[in-house]
Chain A
Amino acid sequence: MHRYFLAKLGQSILLLLGVLLLVFVMVRITGDPAALMMSRESSPEQLEAFREKMGFNRPVLVQFADFSSKAIKGDFGLSLHFRTPALQMVLERLPATLQLAAVGLLMAIVVAIPLGLVGGFNPGGLTDSVGRSLALLGQSIPNFWLALIMILFFAVRLGWFPSFGRDEIKSVVMPAFVMALPVMGQLMRLTRSAVLEIRGEDYIRTARSKGLEPKTIYFKHVLRNVAIPLISVIGVQFGYMLGGSIYIETIFAWPGMGQLLEQSIGWRDFPLVQAIAVFTSVIVLALNLLTDMAYALIDPRIRYGN
């Protein structure tokens, strides 16, 4: 079991190195990171001074060694726009994004899992049809558009919720809902197909034929097994929400990491973009690792299999 965890941890560390390399290469794809980060009106002297200051004229391998050794210590350099440490800027934005993703995830779970369970136990029923239509809709509505439409109706016309910012408790409702909708659909579909699959398993038939009460079968055998795939998907979805909040935060002026990303791209503040990318990736990788571990703790087949 320790070996399984160590192997997973090793993989995550390798992935993290891959992320650092990727983020390092990305600002250099065009060949000249200085031209990318400076305004177009900069004179050649200004560009040269900037290269000197940022160390862009050193050999690439030296630059990468420098970048990654600093990044591991949490040093991504100064934000070009704010002139303050980039990571600090990101950390200040973390709570808002976490709150948004957590509320969104909770909304998705509360709606999707009961619908998926009912749908799985009674496929083709009315609840199932309604649930699946909602899932399909959730998959097909562009979230950036839904956000605009919700602002129009619930903020501007009806005045139920504030249209932007994070000043009231109510503020979180609309952005979290928009964020939750696609996740809701996925979770519902997954719960439903897990129930369907587990209902057909031999051990359920055995439980039934030895005369167990349906309630016992439902709670002890089916639900516990449905929980296994759900845990892994919920973990992954949470990471997806943390990294995918850029539209929603931009539209609702939600002061999180997604909004910071959008702003820093506008300012061509690439040290800050790099810090956001690496930091978000670290959170996502950590979440995946935790999910894998939880998964292995719950399901011994994973721990001992290969």
Chain B
Amino acid sequence: MKFIRAVLAAITAVGVIASVSGCSGASGITHGETLRILSGSENEALSQILDECEKKTGVNIEMTYKGSVDIMQELKSGAPDYDAVWTASSLWISLGDEKHIVKHDESICTTPVIFGIRQSLAEQLGFMSEQVSVKDILSAIENNKLKFCMTSATQSNSGASAYIGFLYALLGKNSALTNDDLASPQLREQIKSLLSGVERSSGSSGWLEEMFLAGDYDAMVNYECLIIDANRQLVNAGREPLYAVYSYDGLSIADSPLGYLDHGDSKKEDAFKKVQEYLLSEEVQSEIEGTGRRISLNGVSAQNKAVFNKSWGIDTERILSPITMPAADVLSNALNLWQSSFRKPSLSVYCLDFSGSMKGEGNQQLVNAMKQVLVQENARENLLQAGEGDVNVVVTFDRKVLNVYTSESADADSLERLYESVREEQIGGGTDIYTAAKYADNLINENYNPSDYTAAVILMTDGVSENTNQIAFEKFYRTSGGDIPIFSIMFGSAESD
């Protein structure tokens, strides 16, 4: 299977960039049709099943992982580069399929979006009971008893679902959210204070889980299947597992629909049907259930009972009442408000490689990527626009740091000037990624209070470092606390590994 890097989609204004691990040609034996699937990142966990699917169906599968909002935008523009779409929730397909190209969409599995809280803390806070409301959890957060991580609401389905759930809980409402509700000053105050308790915000649910495992946090809002997966790893590492908390008033269910994108190629359609049929076959459904995803309303099959571990609070018997998603215009308003004013401000330091090897195509890709992020007109299209208090810093480097440009404003002109600096920057000599990354990490710690921000270092490079400083850097990163995530995006001649 071939993974394609979704570079731009992975850049988020909240400061997190995915470094997608690449592998290719796992099977290499198929000569059949290629199916290009635009997918949510939570499906990365199914890669083994997809590898097997390629072998059994003879269809080559190319997965491109993007956030839900990006997928919705891609569908709106007709998704010409894809043959199928596989989102976390059918909501994003319904909102995006303006061109009526989605066909044969069927739910592959379901999983609710829930809170996973450190077991001892959940017990201490009284969250092991049947009747926990989002409000109970929110008051624990407000009283500084609980810090949690979630994904960005504007980039990821689980984040959007959780955020909308918070709004309902704060309003004490169970009928649909309206634009009038969103205008309430009291609500705005409350949600801002709540989101200031977010420890980390990540661009996708899969990456959030990785970040959670690498760090030391109290809780995360994520898919039940990823909480299960995280718990397996936590327990294996001798760490405390998370307790699954299903609030009765603020949860949602991801239904994971896989649909065909009709561009009039019947061979692709046949290939799609083969893949979908394979994934829905009884045997493969059971394998999917084995990853902690729900496949049936009639409870878990006997052979996968142990996966849905009751001692972790996982409860498949309980009736789940998901929240009512607001109407399309209200949802879009809510997401824009998240991005522009509710979320914790971001502090993003972009370390941009201007070494000789980046000359030409690499530099062009890099400048284009920055154009999408910094020029607000472009950023807004993907709900990546800067918000109140955001800080954006550009550090250009070759073997040393070349220049540092800063914008401490969400003002479009200020950010456009930052982009102009990137565009006009001259290519230099050799490459040392380490020096630049270390510089960025120091810059954040010395000039800002990182806990006031969702901070991140984003390294854009072709990865051709002239010295092998990787080990030295890893040592520095560990000893410096390693609290600020560093994400790398590869350009130009870079190998995906």
Q: Do A and B interact? A: no
Instruction: Enumerate chain B interface residues (CB-CB to A < 8 A).
Output: none
